[in-house]
Structure 1
Amino acid sequence: MKTLVRLLLTIALAVVVVTGFRWYRYVTNTDSPYDEVGITFNNVMPGSINRWGCAKLKTTFSNSLPPYGCAAGDGRQWK
């Protein structure tokens, strides 16, 4: 039983680390703000983390349309 709990905790930690790294790589990229996986990860992040990610993307891609989750009411303005 102890081994099973340790295995499950290790898997959960690995998922969190991989997901977090993938999200961070998306918000600090310089290629495109329209990566589908990155948009999904950023959109499901808690409020303050999502706002930070959107601010990083806005700094890099301020002349582009914002991706889903970073757009204001009309979809053409950054939050």
Structure 2
Amino acid sequence: MKRFLTILVVAVFAAAAMLGYRYLSWVKNWDGADTPFDEVGIDLHQYMPGFVQDWGCAQLFAEFGDKTLPPHGCRGKGGWPA
């Protein structure tokens, strides 16, 4: 039983780290995208807590600014108009 719990904890931690890295790479635009309209990033953004969403929108606005419309969930947040 202890071995199963260890494997479960490692698997949950690995999944959280992988999803967190993917979200952070979208927010910080490590891929060098021209627009913030990445489907995976936007989907992950929906599941983040409110303070993380606010931070993510501010980071996206700093990167893309007035060059584009805000991605879903960032309208009225992070500097984008409502």
TM-score (norm 1): 0.87
Q: Distance in 2 between matches of 1:54 and 1:43?
A: 12
Superposition misfits of 4+ residues, deviation over 6 angstroms: none
Letter paired with 2:19: T
Q: Distance in 2 between matches of 1:61 and 1:34?
A: 11
Q: Distance in 2 between matches of 1:71 and 1:7?
A: 40
Alignment partner of 1:45 out of 28, 43, 48: 48
SS of the equivalent of 2:65 reads coil
Q: RMSD between aligned alpha carbons? A: 1.3
Matched residue count: 75
TM-score (norm 2): 0.84
Shift of 1:71: 1.2
Alignment partner of 2:72 out of 61, 68, 71: 68
Seq. identity, %: 37
